[in-house]
Amino acid sequence: MSNSNKSNGIGLTGFVLSIIGVVVFWMPPLCAVFMILAFLFSTAGFIIAILGRRNIGYSIAGLFITILFFVLGYGMIVALLTK
C-alpha cells in the first residue's frame, strides 16, 4: 500500500491560514499574523510531506499563496512610502 495518499494536517493548516490571511488582507496586522503562521505551517508541512511521503498539495498551495501575498504586501508598503 502506498503512503502517498496519507493526509498532511500541518500542510492543510498552513493552507487554511493562508486563505484566512487573504480574507483579512485589508487588516494588515491581523493579516501579517495569519501569513506568518501560514508560512511556518506550510513550510513544516512541506518538509513533513517530503520526508514522510505524505500529500504535498496543500503545503505547496499554502506556500504559494503566502509568498504571493508577502510580495504584494511589501509592494504596497513600498508604494505608499515612496509617494
Give the pLDDT confidence of 35-78 residue by residue, as tens digits. 999 999 999 999 999 998 788 999 999 999 999 988 888 888 88
Look up the domain containing 57 and give its range.
Answer: 9-81
Q: Which of 3-7, 34-38, 79-83 has the lowest mean pLDDT?
A: 3-7
Q: Is residue 69 part of a domain?
A: yes
Residue 22 placed within a domain: yes
**24-31 contacts at long range (C-beta below 8 A, 24 or more positions apart):** 25/69, 25/73, 28/73, 31/69, 31/73
From 52, 51, 55, 64, select the one nearest 15 (Cα to Cα): 64
- Domain for residue 16, yes or no? yes
Encode pLDDT of 28-37 as tens digits.
888 889 999 9
34 lies in some domain:
yes
List Cβ<8 Å contacts ≥24 apart for 28-37. 28/73, 31/69, 31/73, 32/73, 35/66, 35/69, 35/70, 35/73
pTM equals 0.83
Q: How many structural domains are present in the chain?
A: 1
Whether 5 has a pLDDT exceeding 70, the answer reads no
pLDDT at residue 83 tops 50: yes
Residue 4 lies in a domain: no
